[in-house]
Amino acid sequence: MPQTITEKILAAHAGRDTVVPGELINVRIDMALANDITAPIAIDLFEKSHVESVFDPERIALVPDHFVPNKDVQSAIQVQAMRTFARKYHIKYFFELGEMGIEHVLLPEQGLVLPGDVVIGADSHTCTYGALGAFATGVGSTDIAATMITGEVWFKVPESIKLIYDGQLREWVTGKDLILYTIGDIGVDGATYKAMEFTGDVIKALPVADRMTMANMAIEAGAKSGIIPPDEATLDYIRPRAKRPFECYTSDPDATYAEVRTYDVSNIEPQVAFPYLPENTRGISAVDTIPIDQAVIGSCTNGRIEDLRLAARILNGRTIDKNVRLIIVPATPTVYRQAMAEGLLEIFLAARGIVSPPTCGPCLGGFMGILGPGERAVSTTNRNFVGRMGHPSSEVYLANPAVAAASAVLGRIGGPDELD
């Protein structure tokens, strides 16, 4: 029976030869993840079960990244609960401060998520790991607690949507633009509880960082997961990092899809998602004069070294508009050190930006860049809901790092081609 890559991975982890969409199955988990918002709830539920050990202390990752460095007493208490739990149950992968990074950049970087894995995380953007050919999805804290006990979780097998990207990318167009364009096309509910399978010659040519950006935002179309079949680029990324064996899966040519869509990327320019939904997209040429107060470059969507290099290309030798605050957030200590070694941090500072330690803070309006009433930000993050980065009357415009950097210089939303 022909199968998609998603169906093959789930079947293998359920001890089955095949599965079909709509089936309810129990699967074993390769990695379970929680952060400083979601882990304390899971930990409390775990302790109430009175079990004596977790299913596998090397298959759980705890990453405090949302409110760290701790911004107040409550956030310190939450991380303290994680630290105590990690020590008590000998959790190998507890990351803090000097080792801590934004979870969805950190785990692939550390070789903890691999092709063919089933990964769950108590964070909706866990779907990022599908870029490596894994089935990865967000779940609730209760599911994480149950998984820490049993090593298993149940799923309804999702249908798959095949998204094919052909053509030639324009200058300054990135994976962020492809996924924003796609969400703008199908809507924030266009892939509800489906696996978005990204393929085509353009995807094969994309760097892994851009693939992660696309898989990261599958949830913004309502998807259960996003996934890209592994290829040589995937293996080049994985082999130096992998902490354990892995298996690669691909879809059968005659697998059944709920829908197939093809995009000619030659027609796609850098995209901007207007408030208050990621589907509210338009090309940069269709953006009117929109002054901004803040630009944020970072997050699990666009905080990798490739993103910082792109921003630095724009900012090198330039300074930001006097009315704009520019915040750069390297996603992990490794990214931070690499950016420092390459001179990128000096470029950002010379442009009058600031560089933050790794944190999710500004993305969710937690800290390190909260917006006041009526303020506007252009951001490389993944959501622009009402009040997402601060006051309910503030506005967030989503864009790629080149557009965000150019906008910081221009003082309004604009593209790199507008700069002298």
Angle, to 10 degrees, between the axis of helix 175-186 and the axis of helix 208-216? 30
Q: Are residues 253 and 285 in the same domain?
A: no
- Which residue, among 217, 218, 225, has the nearest Cα to 118 in the 3D structure? 225
Residue 132's pLDDT is 98
Could you read off the pLDDT of 351-392 as tens digits, one per residue? 999 999 999 999 988 989 999 999 999 999 999 999 999 999
Predicted model pTM: 0.95
- The whole-angstrom distance between residue 27's C-alpha and the CA centroid of its chain comes to 23
Q: For residues 38 and 66, is the Cβ–Cβ distance under 8 A?
A: no
Q: Are residues 259 and 278 in the same domain?
A: no
Question: Last residue of a domain, which of 206, 238, 263?
Answer: 263
Domain count, the chain: 2
Q: How far apart are CA 331 and CA 158, in angstroms?
A: 30
Q: How far apart are CA 240 and CA 234, in angstroms?
A: 11
β-partners of residue 63 are 35
Q: For residues 61 and 72, is the Cβ–Cβ distance under 8 A?
A: no
Residue 34's pLDDT is 97
Which parts of the chain sit beneath pLDDT 70? none
Instruction: Please write down the HEC assignment for all residues of the chain.
Output: CCCCHHHHHHHHHCCCCCCCCCCEEEEECCEEEEECCCHHHHHHHHHHHCCCCCCCCCCEEEECCCCCCCCCHHHHHHHHHHHHHHHHCCCCEECCHHHCCCHHHHHHHCCCCCCCCEEEECCHHHHHHHHHCCEEEECCHHHHHHHHHHCEEEEECCEEEEEEEECCCCCCCCHHHHHHHHHHHHCCCCCCCEEEEEECHHHHHCCHHHHHHHHHHHHHHCCCEEECCCCHHHHHHHCCCCCCCCCCCCCCCCCCCCEEEEEEHHHCCCEEECCCCCCCEEEHHHCCCCECCEEEECHHHHCCHHHHHHHHHHHCCCCCCCCCEEEECCCCHHHHHHHHHCCHHHHHHHCCCEECCCCCCCCCCCCCCCECCCCEEEECCCCCCCCCCECCCCEEEECCHHHHHHHHHHCECCCHHHCC
For residue 66, the enclosing domain spans: 5-263
Residue 1's pLDDT is 85
Q: Are residues 108 and 205 in the same domain?
A: yes
Q: Are residues 234 and 154 in the same domain?
A: yes
Residue 231 belongs to domain with CATH number: 3.30.499.10
Q: Are residues 195 and 52 in the same domain?
A: yes
Please give the share of the chain, as a percent, with pLDDT higher than 90.
96
Give the residue carrying structure tokens 């030659």: 266
Please give the share of the chain, as a percent, with pLDDT higher than 70.
100
Q: Are residues 357 and 294 in the same domain?
A: yes
Q: Are residues 313 and 251 in the same domain?
A: no
Q: Are residues 61 and 207 in the same domain?
A: yes
Question: Last residue of a domain, which of 263, 295, 310?
Answer: 263
Q: How far apart are CA 349 and CA 88, in angstroms?
A: 42
Residue 91's pLDDT is 97
Q: Are residues 248 and 384 in the same domain?
A: no
Could you read off the pLDDT of 8-58 as tens digits, one per residue? 999 999 999 999 999 999 999 999 999 999 999 999 999 999 999 999 999
Q: Which amino acid is at 95?
A: F
Q: Are residues 180 and 320 in the same domain?
A: no
Q: Kindly state the tokens that stand for 356.
A: 């933050």
Q: Are residues 377 and 253 in the same domain?
A: no
Residue 417's pLDDT is 94
Question: Last residue of a domain, which of 230, 263, 296?
Answer: 263
Residue 420's pLDDT is 74
